[in-house]
Amino acid sequence: MNNIILSLQSIIRTYTQGGGALNVLNKLNLEVKSGEVVALVGPSGSGKTTLLQIAGLLDTPTSGEVIINGENLSSANDTKRTLARRKHIGFVYQFHHLLPEFSALENIVLPQMMAGASKADAEKKSQELLAQLGLSAREKHRPAALSGGEQQRVAIARALANSPALLLADEPTGNLDHHTAEDVFSVLMAQVRGKNLGALVATHNMELAQRMDRIVRLEDGVLKE
């Protein structure tokens, strides 16, 4: 049986707006297992990004529990949350957010060194990841010299650099043309499958969503299978 990598239990997220309360997430429950890719769909403004931020320990719920790889981090302090993100979670966003002054290789090396890896070990792993993503010939190029698809593949490699158990992706192909989106999605799926990760992928692309293991839809703050 696959391990439960992410468990969100009775998550409520309320914001104060104009003197009133706005419920974005309402008693939301979700589990993601290792080896499972879950598509998160829903209209713009439905709270998908808020859900991903809570799952990724970048935001805290108003109430409810966030359990990552068996550890309840609902009331963890900032230091513990940061360490848990570094250890367990990889992020891929719609825009790659690569550091423009560093090469593709260096963008993947840096998070590993921040987690305590030696430069030599980090460079070796970064080269292996770039090779797996078909970018060995581009490792010395800075982001501006890469195509949109290449930039996003580097961002995927960076997300995988610290061997996370959970991958969170927010519209990872949303800024790409159809052909490039297909290429990036195939690379992403191959890496998730090959490394037996749990993945939660927010997308508006229903063609891609239907190729994942299951689809959950966020409507009015509630998840529906």
Q: What is the 3-state secondary structure (H, E, C) of the chain?
A: CCCEEEEEEEEEEEEEECCEEEEEEEEEEEEEECCCEEEEECCCCCCHHHHHHHHCCCCCCCEEEEEECCEECCCCCHHHHHHHHHHHEEEECCCCCCCCCCCHHHHHHHHHHHCCCCHHHHHHHHHHHHHHCCCHHHCCCCHHHCCHHHHHHHHHHHHHCCCCCEEEEECCCCCCCHHHHHHHHHHHHHHHHHHCCEEEEECCCHHHHCCCCEEEEEECCEEEC
Does residue 224 fall inside a structural domain?
no
The mean-pLDDT minimum among 69-83, 105-119, 163-177, 190-204 falls in 163-177
Decide if 202 is inside a domain: yes
What is the predicted pLDDT for the residue at 101?
Answer: 93
Flag whether pLDDT at 1 surpasses 60. no
2 pLDDT more than 70: no
**Residue 6 resides in a domain:** no
Q: Which of 201, 174, 162, 179 is nearest to 6 (CA)?
A: 201
**Cα separation values, 65 from 6, 14, 29, 31, 73, Å:** 11, 15, 9, 12, 7
Choice between 18 and 77, residue whose per-residue pLDDT is larger: 77
- Is residue 16 in a domain? no
% the chain with pLDDT above 90: 38
Please write the tens of the pLDDT for every residue from 37-92.
999 998 877 888 889 999 999 988 989 999 998 889 988 898 999 888 888 999 98
Query: For the purposes of burial, counting CB atoms within 10 Å of the CB of 178, is it exposed (0-12), middle (13-18) or buried (19 or more)?
Result: exposed
What pLDDT does residue 106 have?
94
| 19 in a structural domain | no
Number of domains composing the chain: 1
The answer to whether residue 69 sits within a structural domain is: no
**37 assigned to some structural domain:** yes
CATH number at residue 192: 3.40.50.300
Look up the domain containing 153 and give its range: 33-60+76-218
Tens digit of each residue's pLDDT (9 = 90 or more) over 94-152: 777 889 999 999 999 998 998 888 999 999 999 988 988 888 899 999 999 998 888 88
Residue 199 has pLDDT above 90, yes or no: yes
Q: Which has more confidence, 85 or 22?
A: 85
Give the pLDDT confidence score for residue 54 in this predicted structure: 92
188 inside domain: yes
